[in-house]
A and B are shown apart, each in its own frame.
Chain A
Amino acid sequence: MGPVREVLVRVAGLVFAAAYAAFIVSVYARQPRTVQQLASGMAASVGAYRVDPVNFQEGLRFFRADQFIEARAAFERADPARQDAPTQFYIAYSFYRQGWGRLYHDDPLYRQGLEVVDRAIARAPGGRLVVPDPNLQMHTADELRAELQRGLARELSDLSPMKVFAERK
């Protein structure tokens, strides 16, 4: 092997090892649960990942009809790698709306919503996520996160009878 070719091989090897190590670290950080999520994550890392628009629209339709379980199933199909911040936002919003109650909130659903909205924030560029959907009353992930946290908090104001008149957002 000539000296130039040897240098090329060694440099290419370094680049390859760095890329492969970065991929493995990203897999451990993302923790994909299925082979499909793993493959989608790989596609996302090279910028080739796209949300399925048909399933996304179907999810939106279910969401607006208050069919939250069906909506989440459609959104999960649309974004199997859980890489798309707006889709994750809608999933978190569905947990909020399903868990909201005039007399009490469903804590397990709120906790799941909080987990998903944190993921949405993590996926959003710069951590800032705005969804300009006129059917929603909260348009940013920060508002949704705060609302979920308020719902999980135990306060004296929870006993206020005025809470009965609160509206779902």
Chain B
Amino acid sequence: MTRALPPAREAFVLPALFLTVAGAGGLRVSPAGGAMSFVPPPLITLVLAVLLLGVMARAGLLIPSGLLGDHRTGLENANGVVVLLSLFAASAQLFTCLTPDAGVLRLIFNLFFLFLLWNTLAAQPDRTRLLRSLFVVFGWAYVVRYVALAALADPQAGWTRGMLTVRLEGASSGPIAGEATAPLAGYVAFATVALYMTGLGLLPRPAPSAAVALVATRAPDLLE
């Protein structure tokens, strides 16, 4: 059903990538003084991570039989479990990384992720389309959280802040408060998203015959 992963990729590369994302995802850097803190995943991000893994499994991006099963040895299954657990932790912490820490914006971001994942689950995309979709979703969230909201909170942001304030005028009853972030946090978040997407691209792929069968059921128009 799946192309076998090289052992080094399954045992080292994927856990290293996902654990790094899990570690860096909760990093917060104070804009005043640069003090670090590490935020554990809030409960809602665990729910979002479960939903995301479900979406990945439905789309064929995550193939559980490629990581676990009777056809694999105990050691191979242990490696597979590590990949799945680290992927879950990384997914939860990626949402933590991309979501504001408090306030209405946090609620809006979480609802946005929830509805978007639900919608994606219903749409049943294939592997490639899901990867593109996640790239857009996480990229959008990154830009809003670390560029737009940071600019709104930064009195030095000048024209960026002015432009955003004008754009958002009338969109809310009061002024939208940004969320101050240290520049370092933005760079770390960018690397975190990039590492996560790289890890997703390295997950086991379906074998060609299985892939054709999957596309035939999910997106038959592609075969025409």
Of A31-39, A70-78, A87-95, A142-150, the one with at least 4 CB within 8 A of chain B: A31-39
- A44 proximal to B (CB < 8 A): no
Residue-by-residue, is B20-47 near A (CB-CB < 8 Å gives 1, otherwise 0)? Answer: 0011001000000011111010000000
Pairwise interchain contact B11-A12, C-beta atoms closer than 8 A:
yes
Pairwise interchain contact A31-B37, C-beta atoms closer than 8 A:
yes
Within the complex, the shortest CB–CB distance from B19 to chain A, in Å, comes to 5
Q: Report how far A34 CA is from B12 CA in the complex, Å.
A: 28
Of B72-80, B140-148, B166-174, B210-218, the one with at least 4 CB within 8 A of chain A: B72-80
Pairwise interchain contact A10-B79, C-beta atoms closer than 8 A:
yes
Q: Hey, which chain B residues are within 8 Å of A31, CB to CB?
A: 37-38
Pairwise interchain contact B15-A16, C-beta atoms closer than 8 A:
yes
Binding site for A on B (CB under 8 A): 6-8, 10-12, 15-16, 19, 22-23, 26, 34-38, 40, 75-76, 78-79, 82, 86
Of A14, A27, A38, the residue contacting B82 (CB under 8 A) is A14
A11 (CB) vs chain B CBs: closest residue: B75
- A103 proximal to B (CB < 8 A): no
Chain B CB count within 10 A is highest, among A16, A17, A20, A34, for: A17
A21 (CB) vs chain B CBs: closest residue: B19
Chain B CB count within 10 A is highest, among A12, A13, A27, for: A13
Within the complex, the shortest CB–CB distance from B185 to chain A, in Å, comes to 14
Of A1-9, A52-60, A107-115, the one with at least 4 CB within 8 A of chain B: A1-9
Pairwise interchain contact A27-B75, C-beta atoms closer than 8 A:
no
Q: A13 with B38: in contact, given A20-B15, A20-B19, A24-B22 (CB under 8 Å)? A: no
Q: Report how far A61 CA is from B50 CA in the complex, Å.
A: 56
Q: Hey, which chain A residues are within 8 Å of B36, CB to CB?
A: 32-35, 38
Closest A-B pairs by Cβ, 8 of them: A13-B11, A17-B15, A24-B23, A33-B35, A28-B38, A9-B7, A17-B82, A10-B75
Add 17 more A-B contacts to A10-B11, A14-B79, A35-B36 (CB < 8 A). Answer: A1-B6, A9-B12, A10-B10, A13-B7, A13-B11, A13-B15, A13-B82, A14-B11, A16-B11, A16-B15, A16-B16, A17-B86, A20-B15, A20-B16, A27-B23, A28-B40, A34-B36
Q: Report how far A28 CA is from B86 CA in the complex, Å.
A: 16
Pairwise interchain contact A1-B7, C-beta atoms closer than 8 A:
yes
Q: Hey, which chain B residues are within 8 Å of A13, CB to CB?
A: 7-8, 10-12, 15, 79, 82
Pairwise interchain contact A7-B75, C-beta atoms closer than 8 A:
yes
Within the complex, the shortest CB–CB distance from B155 to chain A, in Å, comes to 25
Within the complex, the shortest CB–CB distance from B31 to chain A, in Å, comes to 14
